[in-house]
């Protein structure tokens, strides 16, 4: 089996988890996945093993299911994300080209139209953060943040769905881009770290409300 088929199977399953086709707790069956994606079972099996190694899938008896995050795992993830995202913003303020900064500004402006659509705004939010990662011009940081964001897909809901969060997040994004455009590394890093902290607090409140 070619390496391209192996890579395609992995990417296809990962994307399906990322966009919510498969949610935490859903069972993944080799034969079903092979039929859905039009790929033979060998690369599907290898892709599932890779995803299990990355803790995106977990064992439930003899089956593999999409992993879910408990409170402690979520807290640990946000701690790491906050620090890495802050570093990305600092490096973007130092290294981003004028073209990359213009793209960030355009993205934030365009995303204003999605404030009433949390699902689409969540996708746009992912693209915005990825653009900052790339603007850091540090390949190793980008790799680590990519893994963090993949794991974020294990959260069944987006914090942007909380009442009022979309508008606040957009305002925070504008502040981050403003600091990057001014080449203010300290302000950019602090703004993005605060943005992640607020998102975490929002998610904690939503979880507490759900338990209530």
Under CATH, what is the fold of the domain 3-66?
A: Arc Repressor Mutant, subunit A (1.10.10)
90, pLDDT greater than 90: yes
Which of 13-17, 85-89, 110-114, 155-159 has the highest average model confidence (pLDDT)?
85-89
pLDDT > 90: percent of the chain:
58
Q: How far is CA 196 from CA 36, 80, 115, in A?
A: 35, 10, 18
Spell out the domain ranges in the chain: 3-66, 71-211
Q: Which of 113-117, 127-131, 194-198 has the lowest mean pLDDT?
A: 113-117
| CA-based nearest residue to 111, from 122, 102, 100, 101 | 122
pLDDT bracket for residue 31 (50, 70, 90):
very high
The reply to whether domains 3-66 and 71-211 share a CATH topology is no
Q: Which of 31-35, 61-65, 154-158, 208-212 has the lowest mean pLDDT?
A: 208-212
Q: What is the pLDDT of residue 88?
A: 98
Looking at domain 71-211, which CATH architecture does it have? Up-down Bundle (1.20)
Q: Model confidence over 139-191: pLDDT tens digits?
A: 999 999 998 988 887 876 666 666 678 888 899 999 999 999 999 999 999 99
Q: What is the rounded average pLDDT of the residues 43-52?
A: 93
Signed CA dihedral, 114, 119, 123, 129: sign only? positive
Distance CA 185, CA 115 (A): 28
């Amino acid at each position: 089996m070619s390496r391209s088929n192996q890579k395609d199977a992995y990417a296809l399953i990962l994307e399906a988890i990322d966009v919510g086709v498969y949610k935490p707790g859903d069972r993944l069956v080799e034969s079903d996945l092979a039929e859905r994606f039009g790929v033979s079972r060998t690369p599907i099996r290898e892709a599932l093993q890779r995803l299990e190694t990355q803790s995106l899938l977990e064992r439930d008896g003899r089956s593999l299911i999409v992993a879910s995050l408990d409170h402690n795992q979520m807290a640990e993830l946000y701690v790491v994300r906050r620090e890495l995202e802050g570093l990305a913003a600092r490096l973007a303020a130092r290294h981003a080209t004028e073209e990359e900064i213009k793209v960030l500004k355009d993205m934030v402006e365009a995303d204003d139209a999605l404030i009433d659509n949390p699902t689409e705004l969540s996708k746009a939010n992912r693209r915005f953060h990825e653009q900052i990662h790339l603007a850091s011009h540090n390949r190793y940081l980008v790799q680590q943040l990519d893994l963090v964001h993949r794991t974020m897909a294990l959260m069944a809901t987006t914090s942007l769905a909380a009442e009022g969060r979309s508008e606040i997040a957009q305002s925070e994004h504008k502040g981050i881009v403003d600091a990057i455009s001014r080449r203010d590394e300290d302000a950019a890093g602090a703004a993005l770290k605060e943005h992640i902290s607020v998102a975490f607090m929002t998610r904690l409140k939503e979880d507490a409300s759900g338990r209530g």
